[in-house]
Structure 1
Amino acid sequence: MRITSHSIFVDDQDAAIAFYRDHLGFVVTADFPVGEHRWITLADPENATGTQIVLEPNDHPAVPAFTSALVEDGIPFTSFGVEDVQAEYERLTAQGVVFTQPPTAMGPVITAVLDDTVGNLIQLAQMVEQPS
């Protein structure tokens, strides 16, 4: 068994593509109609056939309350690994990306949290030492 995809609920699929592609650097691997919405996947440009992010419409009745509660409590919906959180923070801040938490050391990891503009907080994480 392996992870093939991870869904992220978004309130605007076009805006989500723009953010995840143009700011975070993921590549669109699929974009086609499925009913009234679209099936949109993105991946790491260095592994476009690896794990996919699915940009899911947030129109299920439970989703807006769930994602809003996470944002209100400052809880990231998911986490992306990076080599250098500080460098990503500086690069993305220069592009106008809003962070709710600057790079912060938390034991064996440094994290920063950004607003993805489509309803979620996303954590960037850099492992600085291997947990024992």
Structure 2
Amino acid sequence: MVEKVVKTDEEWKNLLTREEYIVTRRRGTEPPFTGKYYDFKGKGIYRCVACGNDLFSSKAKFDSGSGWPSFVEPISEDAVAEREDESYGMVRVEVICAQCDSHLGHVFEDGPPPTGLRYCINSAALKFVPEEELVSEG
């Protein structure tokens, strides 16, 4: 069971940049091809910018051509949660951080093997940690 991170709206506003807050706490979306990780090729892991929860491995990242970082699967079964999103006149599956409920993006069933899934994630919701730093974390 994942331990939840709970903060007031004011605490989130003080912790996050304006863009991070709009994306993670207000379910915003950055414009395609503008986020710092959409074309990023580093090796390591992507964590939730709000709480530091491990979300995705660079090994699961692929170029979907969508303009957002895309992954075939989360780093672990309990890293993210999903919920129905009926905003903007569409029915989609929203992806949220399982630890702090931050909005990350959406998951679609048009990804490559082995999962056939495309986790389309906002760069503003992510913090990349290079492999070298992970080794020193132990």
Give the TM-score normalised by structure 1. 0.30
Give the TM-score normalised by structure 2. 0.29
Structure holding more strand per residue: 1
Larger radius of gyration: 1
